Structure 1
């Protein structure tokens, strides 16, 4: 097993803004602190961008746009492949950095680095496969030629829970398409994004193609960027509430938007499911990144005949997880990102118990330094409980029994969200039937993991617009151009 790198000293990291291929100070000189969730201690002071810095980053992206778009697809692909190779070579270094600023358990951090690097390789391969179309018009009056061109300068806004993967999932297709970009990472985890930008410059990405501006003034800064007519694309991952605000602001310049928003994933277990597989899938769907994932299983609906056995087995598996800092490779569940995150999870758990749920394991914050909440299982949760309506974003499994297939589908779909869903059954016909009926952009059928660089990631309803990953993710950064011609 790999172990955390001892070579990473946070004091050696570049903590400026990354603009036009270099680390620079904020115009105001302001900085803000980044903390380690495992002990609450300060890791680094990072440059705090303001509106002047946003303008500098936008100018840099605009200056680089024409030359980058003019590069051949093969040339852009080669640069992305070098990014992939460098990130794979430094996997332990990046995993250590992620664990330090995000709190992620070591195996989760290593998994994220591998996932993040794959976006560079996938979009290096996709960059040379943008295929146009030629057809004859129905009246045979002309030929229809369709080509795809880079959309233009892209503003990319990423969350704190996957600081590497959420960055590369946006940057790689943007660059493959020929776009330049400005990345605004979450203030909780800017160090990984800055390190990725420096790596990309080392790999040959020209100055200004990728710019990273961390800030504590996210709202005003992103608003300023969206008000500039040079910006043609917004890709945002975050809460539904913030996504709605950004959609309104993007409308002012009619900016194309991709939105990966909140989730409230159901996990359905039918009586005929393989119990071992269902518990294994539940642990993966619930506890990846300690439950701090938009795809995390929130609501476990278990058919009555398997309910008690599944509850007992899941409780046993959750209780066996070792909680602690990710820098100890033996730990399997790290801290939550902030004290506020711990307070939110505790509020939801307390509320469910007050509404009649039964606590099986866990159930209150851990004492000591750091922001830890233990793996928790709550059974017999009333259908109307608040915890079933709100995204938990923590290591809490909420169990509800059901009787019929129709009831399970209705319960699963009874939310404004539609990002991911999971179901386990031994009947393939039933599995496909229920998968079709679930109002979700992604479904794991007898699987607890749906994320894949080669697949379209995204949701329906209030979980988002557009897709990331797969060929679909590249098309989000391309505009079709139709030319009518005769020959």
Structure 2
């Protein structure tokens, strides 16, 4: 059983109230997580505020500490990954990738330095624009990628000179609590504080006057609540929210080369990723072949616990997400869609849903128009590119989109028409790592994460004007 404490000001914090954490592959309790109250939040914010001046004032020490933190995460990679695998259900290899990504975020951001822009430097005056750290910030972490997103937020925030109060999801708190303990050997007390709780704690963090920014990865609905909660204090925010990513196959796509890439871009992580392919548009001439080949792949995927090395797909992480996926499939079938593979919960313990391919899907069905966030791929036929472009750019989401074709020039032209922060040709979910920014259009987010853009989002600019006469 896992039993990790919260971390406040570099010390253990345990509470009388401890909530059980379930393994989504077995529905069995795997540990207990302490639950923070308002006093714990105040203590964490106060610790972050005390640590902030010294942390902000010492860039060389920050770089050294972040490099040491990356090494601490790497040294415990297998241990952290095992916790991720049992609390999320995702395969061990994906869990280990999360941990290594966190270490990469820490190392990459440790090497960044904010630019200084000289506007004037003459006998009359020196004028330059510099970047200053915002201050103590709150980071709210989702359940689908708890360690990856933790690193994505901690790396730039800490490198920029901010201190952080972290709140993981109550569904997957164990890995973040463990990382909070491990980081104590590298970071001064108060620089990173990890407390745990539900939506009420997230709302209290958003409203807390001691936190100058909130960075959230989560659903669009949660993002709207954070935006509203932060408005009274004009608090800075970064929101990385939902997506309903389309992928368009053109007539000349090489299915032999691309069909597996398309399948895994939709299903990796059991489809529980904001940038997964959520709806696939195929030309009528290829439609039957595309559906059949995707169904063949879905039928052969090994679905099982994340701790089983043979598993390629795990369960959904929460019972609510399982219920949503089932309802969306039922709604699609009642509206005329056809289940070609899957289409039902697996008859075993755990939140398992069979990898599902839906044929005869169309825009207007909930499973096409909404973010299903699960192992379901609706395939929509189309007759003309202009027709499909009208459909893919309609709606509230604008995170990612891809086009698949044998003509790269045409692919680039189509990709340029997507109303999304990320666009791909012959790939989806591809990234250069920590240096490549992520940005959602429309309801998919506010602000930028990763790269120099994400680093600078944890700073405020200051104009320094020095008169010389």
Q: TM-score range by the shorter chain?
A: over 0.9
Instruction: Provide the C-alpha distance between the structure 1 equivalents of 2:426 and 2:452, rounded to a whole number of angstroms.
Output: 25
Q: Which of the numbers 328, 336, 350 marks the counterpart of 2:316? A: 336
Instruction: Provide the C-alpha distance between the structure 2 equivalents of 1:108 and 1:307, rounded to a whole number of angstroms.
Output: 31
SS in 2 for 1:332: coil
Change (3 A) 1:222 1:326: closer
Instruction: Provide the C-alpha distance between the structure 2 equivalents of 1:288 and 1:367, rounded to a whole number of angstroms.
Output: 21
SS in 2 for 1:401: strand
Tell me, yes or no, if structure 1 residue 242 matches structure 2 residue 222.
yes
Which one is further off, 101-110 or 272-281? 272-281
SS in 2 for 1:301: strand
Instruction: Provide the C-alpha distance between the structure 2 equivalents of 1:107 and 1:406, rounded to a whole number of angstroms.
Output: 40
SS in 1 for 2:268: helix
**Normalised by the size of structure 1, how large is the TM-score?**
0.93
Instruction: Provide the C-alpha distance between the structure 2 equivalents of 1:378 and 1:227, rounded to a whole number of angstroms.
Output: 43
Alignment of 1:239-318 (within 5 A): 239-318=219-298
Instruction: Provide the C-alpha distance between the structure 1 equivalents of 2:424 and 2:77, rounded to a whole number of angstroms.
Output: 28
Q: Which of the numbers 177, 180, 184 marks the counterpart of 1:194? A: 177
Match of 2:390 in 1: 410
Tell me, yes or no, if structure 1 residue 115 matches structure 2 residue 97.
no
Q: Which of the numbers 80, 91, 110 marks the counterpart of 2:77? A: 91
Alignment of 1:56-135 (within 5 A): 56-71=43-58, 73-126=59-112, 129-135=113-119
Q: Which of the numbers 192, 197, 210 marks the counterpart of 1:215? A: 197
Check the 8 A contact 2:401/2:428 in 1, yes or no: no
Shift of 1:256: 0.7
Match of 1:5 in 2: none
Match of 2:302 in 1: 322
Check the 8 A contact 1:442/1:450 in 2, yes or no: no
Match of 1:19 in 2: 8
**Normalised by the size of structure 2, how large is the TM-score?**
0.96
Match of 1:364 in 2: 344
Shift of 1:472: 0.8
Shift of 1:230: 2.6
Instruction: Provide the C-alpha distance between the structure 2 equivalents of 1:118 and 1:157, rounded to a whole number of angstroms.
Output: 20
SS in 2 for 1:253: coil
Tell me, yes or no, if structure 1 residue 472 matches structure 2 residue 453.
yes
Deviation track 1:134-153 (CA, whole Å, cap 9, x = no partner) reads 0239x996443111110101
Check the 8 A contact 2:6/2:13 in 1, yes or no: yes
Shift of 1:291: 0.4
Instruction: Provide the C-alpha distance between the structure 1 equivalents of 2:207 and 2:96, rounded to a whole number of angstroms.
Output: 38
Shift of 1:332: 0.4
Match of 1:6 in 2: none
Match of 2:427 in 1: 447
SS in 1 for 2:308: coil
Deviation track 1:136-177 (CA, whole Å, cap 9, x = no partner) reads 39x996443111110101010010000101111101111000
Q: Which runs of 5+ in 2 are unaligned?
A: none
Instruction: Provide the C-alpha distance between the structure 1 equivalents of 2:305 and 2:205, rounded to a whole number of angstroms.
Output: 37
SS in 1 for 2:31: strand
Match of 2:187 in 1: 205
Which one is further off, 267-276 or 205-214? 267-276
Deviation track 1:48-103 (CA, whole Å, cap 9, x = no partner) reads 111111111111111111111111x2221121112222222322222111011110
Instruction: Provide the C-alpha distance between the structure 2 equivalents of 1:392 and 1:226, rounded to a whole number of angstroms.
Output: 27
Match of 1:41 in 2: 28
Shift of 1:478: 0.8
Instruction: Provide the C-alpha distance between the structure 1 equivalents of 2:68 and 2:257, rounded to a whole number of angstroms.
Output: 38
Match of 1:150 in 2: 133
Number of equivalenced pairs: 467
Match of 1:30 in 2: 17
Deviation track 1:239-273 (CA, whole Å, cap 9, x = no partner) reads 11111111111111111110001110101111111
Match of 1:345 in 2: 325
SS in 1 for 2:439: coil
Tell me, yes or no, if structure 1 residue 175 matches structure 2 residue 158.
yes
Aligned-CA RMSD value:
1.6
